[in-house]
Amino acid sequence: DAKTTQPNSMESNEEEPVHLPCNHSTISGTDYIHWYRQLPSQGPEYVIHGLTSNVNNRMASLAIAEDRKSSTLILHRATLRDAAVYYCILRDHYGGSQGNLIFGKGTKLSVKP
């Protein structure tokens, strides 16, 4: 699976939007961009995923660059419960992989009240 690069940490104020960037310059045509987050002392939680078009769900939005070499996870209004480590992961949906997720170091998001 191709590698992703994320900032080690970011800070946000409560109720403000947060933009978490991810670079994946070696992404292949069949790689989907997945985001998971891990709250302290818990297992990871799925957030969102996409291929080319921007995606929205109840948790977040995913903005994907036109060349797909980068993406941004958007939390529209950060809450204290959004403080977590956010992982950007590339996954090939069309075979040739183990089916497992390869976690990088992620971005630790802190939310200030």
Partner 1 sequence: GAVVSQHPSRVICKSGTSVKIECRSLDFQATTMFWYRQFPKQSLMLMATSNEGSKATYEQGVEKDKFLINHASLTLSTLTVTSAHPEDSSFYICSASQGRRSSYNEQFFGPGTRLTVL
Query: What are the residues binding partner 1 (CB under 8 A)?
Result: 32, 38, 41-46, 87, 91-95, 97-106
Nearer to partner 1, 100 or 113 (CB): 100
Nearer to partner 1, 13 or 105 (CB): 105
What CA–CA distance (Å, rounded) separates 93 from 85?
24
Q: How far is the CB of 29 from partner 1 (least distance, A)?
A: 15
Q: How far is the CB of 93 from partner 1 (least distance, A)?
A: 4
Q: Which two tokens stand for residue 60?
A: 């977040």
Taking the mean position of all CA atoms in its chain, how far away is CA 24? 11
Nearer to partner 1, 94 or 112 (CB): 94
| One-letter amino acid of 6 | Q
Q: Which residues touch 78 (CB under 8 Å, ≥6 apart)?
A: 12, 13, 14, 15, 16, 17, 18, 109, 111
Q: How far is the CB of 37 from partner 1 (least distance, A)?
A: 11
Q: How far is the CB of 43 from partner 1 (least distance, A)?
A: 4
Nearer to partner 1, 29 or 43 (CB): 43
Q: Which two tokens stand for residue 50?
A: 């996409």
